[in-house]
Amino acid sequence: MMFANYYNMPETLSLFDKLYDNVGGMQDAFIAFWDTVSAKFALNEFVVGYDPINEPFPSSLFSDPSLFLKPGRFDGQKLAPMYKRAFEKYQKHDPSQIMMFEGTQGPDTVGIGKGYILPVGFEELPGGNDLNHVQMLNEHTYCCQMND
């Protein structure tokens, strides 16, 4: 089975729910991990920044489908608060490090229909809009999004 098929499994969705909603302190542990990593690599000339989670998958596909189906909603409600917490840890150790963050892959960048790239749902940057120089939207695009 292709790895992407595992994302829709109830166990995987449950884990993402626990991460985003901090069930059982899972998000606290995730943030503590990034606190440790960013402390270890602070002021390292070969590290330009951190990307807390690659291609964050939306949770709550079944309990609240609108989080997945309405472009940007998941980003604003679930990812933005977690990114803000991660950004605070990075900045604490090295204010020059860049935080690379991204919206969920569906439907923001997967799009509903061929050729669509929909807007992400962040109202502001994780560290606020005054620190633009150390924050970057890390957008994923794939050939399947382009029209033939």
pLDDT of residue 132: 93
Tokens of 143: 């050939």
pLDDT of residue 9: 85
pLDDT of residue 148: 47
Domain extent at residue 82: 3-145
What kind and span of H or E run contains 101? strand 98-101
Rg of the chain on CA atoms, in Å:
16
Sequence-distant (6+) residues with CB within 8 A of 94 are 38, 41, 42, 43
Per residue of the chain (148 residues), give pLDDT as tens.
777 788 888 888 889 999 999 999 999 999 999 999 999 999 999 999 999 998 898 887 777 888 878 888 999 999 999 999 999 999 999 999 999 999 887 665 554 555 566 778 899 999 999 999 999 998 766 555 555 4
Which residue from 139, 27, 135 is spatially nearest to 91, judged by alpha carbons?
135
pLDDT of residue 62: 77
Whichever domain contains 106, its CATH number is 3.20.20.80
Domain tally, the chain: 1
Which residue from 94, 111, 108 is spatially nearest to 138, judged by alpha carbons?
108
pLDDT of residue 126: 96
pLDDT of residue 117: 65
Question: 84 burial class (0-12, 13-18, 19+ CB within 10 angstroms)?
Answer: middle
pTM given for the model: 0.87
- Give Cα 105 to chain centroid, integer Å: 9
What kind and span of H or E run contains 32? helix 26-40
